[in-house]
Every structure is written in C-alpha cells, then in structure tokens.
Amino acid sequence: MNFTFRQLKTFEAVARQLSFTRAAEELFLTQPAVSMQVRQLEDNIGLPLFEHLGRRIDLTHAGLVLHGFVQRINEVVAEADEVLEGMKGLRRGLLRISVASTANHFATRLLADFARQYPDVSISLDVTNRETLIRQLENNETDMVIMGEPPRDMDLEAEAFMKNPLVAIAPPEHPLADKTSISLARLARERFVLREQGSGTRDAIARFFEQHGQELKTGLEMSSNEAIKHAVEAGLGLGIVSLHTLELELEAARITVLNAEGFPIMRNWYMVHRRGKRDTPVTKAFHDYVLAEASQHVRLPQAHMSTDT
C-alpha cells in the first residue's frame, strides 16, 4: 500500500471532525486540497473511507478500522517526539507539577531552588484540592503530584519524601495554651475549625479522633489553611493544621501549638505519578532533586513542643 503520512494526517482530521470543512480549517488547507488527499488515500487503499449521507459524512467500516490504526500511529509518533526531545537534555523541558493546598507552603520554595539549578526549564504549578489532583492523575494532565494521601485504588507510584506533622493550635491567651500536657479527652471538649471535605488534612484528623475513640466537635468549616489560622486567632475555635503552614504565626507568636496527647499526628508528604509514565529528563531531575533535597531545603518551624521530626 502506498500512502503518505500527510494523507493519513488529513484523513485523521476529517474522521475526527466528520467534516471536510472543519478539517481544512484545522489543517490550514483549502477544502478541495483536503478532499483530494482523502480521495488519493482511498485510491491507494482501494476502498472508500467515508460515505456521504445527504450533507453529513460518516466513516465506512474501512474508515473506522483505518482511524483506529492512525490514532495508534499518532501516539507512537508523539512518543518518539518526546523521547527525542528528551535526548536534547534539560534545555527545553516543561515541568507540570500539581500540589495539594497545604503543600503549597513549601512547594514554591522547592521549585524556586530547582528553577535556579535548571534555568531553562519551564515550570507550571497548579495548587488545588485532592479531588482535582486525583482527576489530573487519572487524565494524565500532570507530570508529578505532591500530596499527603495517595489514593490506594489507582495504579500509582508514590514515594514519601518528608514528614508532615499536624499540630493542634490555639490563640496564645487560650486557657490550654500554657498547659504542659493536655489529654485527648480534654482536647476533644473544645470546638474545632476544620478544613473542607476532601482535604487530606481533614481526613487524617477525623481518622485520628476515631481511632482514639473521641468525637470531634466542629461546626466551622473553611477551605484554606489561612482561613483556619485567622479563625483560630480570632477565637472561633481550635485548629489542627500542618506545621508547615505556621512559620509566620509562630514567629510572631500569634498562635500557640498545644502540648496535646498523641500530637503531632505524624504524616508524610508523597511524590506521586502514574505507574509506567515515561520519565523525561526534566521530571527525573525534579524527582531526584525532591528526594535528595526537600528535607534540607524545607525547614519546619520550631513549635516549642517535643516532636520527633
């Protein structure tokens, strides 16, 4: 069979759009040029690829079969392109990173250090909630995700790279603020300001209270760590947040970390990507950088309490 890559490309556009006019627009060709290429392809193959139903066109059986093959050819060509681009090294790469909202407190710093080492890499950072992170992984829309709870029911590779202690916080004038040891039962009598449903932090807190047979009293729900810290400062309730989010508040003594039984709730940060996703030199460099450097570059604020971090 004697057809060209160009004819296949034109055929694919018509088959996908089911319109010669729209395919011509997409390919910046005239409509007669598109029709001619499709006709030549049909002549070469010896079978009709489209049938005309009034003003509509549809794929014939042969057209459908060929469309499946052309889609596979396109995937292989895109992969070849990616691999060959990769061989040019780190010069022109793009890194797409998505992080959970809490991780944003250190991710930008990490990316800034990485960007200094690899100045020609373009970086796109998306800060979003857990549900969106999972959807992005499903749809292959991101190279790497930084999150606290990799979902167990997906085929992913997840590596823990840094501790993520969750601490209980109160305003400095709160009656529990200067206690050296607060039982969990006493803490559970307080009202808490919590993150929204779907937040990894919130899931971990709910699990912790349940495991210890305590009920978590809440009523106030907020969709960002910043809002929670403001609410706690304003005396609306106690909070439980990642120690990573508290740098400024602890420095300015606007918030106190409580010495509560079972705290900090010790979690990990994970770097997550789809199993089998091909590494480019850029994603590999970022992956190795985070594993080697994250704990050195990201300092946890001093919380004036005993943690084993």
Residues that bind ligand PGA (CB under 6 A): 100-102, 129-130, 147-149, 195, 199-201
Query: CB 309 → ligand PGA: shortest distance, Å?
Result: 15
**First-to-last CA distance in the chain?**
66
What radius of gyration do the chain's Cα atoms show? Answer: 27
Query: CB 235 → ligand PGA: shortest distance, Å?
Result: 23
Query: CB 225 → ligand PGA: shortest distance, Å?
Result: 7
Q: Which is nearer to ligand PGA, 12 or 149 (CB)?
A: 149
Strand-pair category, 265-274 with 238-242: unpaired
Q: Which is nearer to ligand PGA, 7 or 101 (CB)?
A: 101
Query: CB 281 → ligand PGA: shortest distance, Å?
Result: 28
DSSP 298: S
Q: Which is nearer to ligand PGA, 40 or 129 (CB)?
A: 129
Q: Which is nearer to ligand PGA, 101 or 283 (CB)?
A: 101
Q: Which tokens belong to 58?
A: 């549809």
List, in order, residues 6 or more apart from 32 with CB less than 8 Å away. Answer: none
List the one residue out of 226, 207, 101 whose CA is nearest residue 169. 226
Query: CB 133 → ligand PGA: shortest distance, Å?
Result: 8
User: Which residue, judged by CB position, is nearest to ligand PGA in the bound state?
Assistant: 200
Amino acid at 12: E
What is the distance between the alpha carbons of residues 206 and 285, in angstroms, rounded to a whole number? 36
Q: Which is nearer to ligand PGA, 17 or 268 (CB)?
A: 268
Query: CB 278 → ligand PGA: shortest distance, Å?
Result: 26
List the one residue out of 123, 114, 120, 116 whose CA is nearest residue 92. 120
Query: CB 270 → ligand PGA: shortest distance, Å?
Result: 9
Q: Which tokens belong to 277?
A: 């996703």
Query: CB 241 → ligand PGA: shortest distance, Å?
Result: 9
Query: CB 150 → ligand PGA: shortest distance, Å?
Result: 9
Query: What is the helix (H) or strand (E) element at residue 257, kind and residue range?
Result: strand 256-257
Residue 229, by phi and psi: left (phi above 0), alpha (psi -120 to 50) or beta? Answer: alpha
List, in order, residues 6 or more apart from 186 with CB less than 8 Å away. Answer: 176
Q: Which is nearer to ligand PGA, 17 or 295 (CB)?
A: 295
What is the distance between the alpha carbons of residues 97 and 145, in angstroms, rounded to a whole number? 6
Q: Which is nearer to ligand PGA, 48 or 262 (CB)?
A: 262
Cis peptide bond N-terminal to 264, omega within 30? yes
**Which long-range contacts does 47-52 make (Cβ < 8 Å, 24+ apart)?**
49/11, 49/15, 50/14
Q: Which is nearer to ligand PGA, 36 or 127 (CB)?
A: 127
Q: Which is nearer to ligand PGA, 57 or 265 (CB)?
A: 265
DSSP 279: P
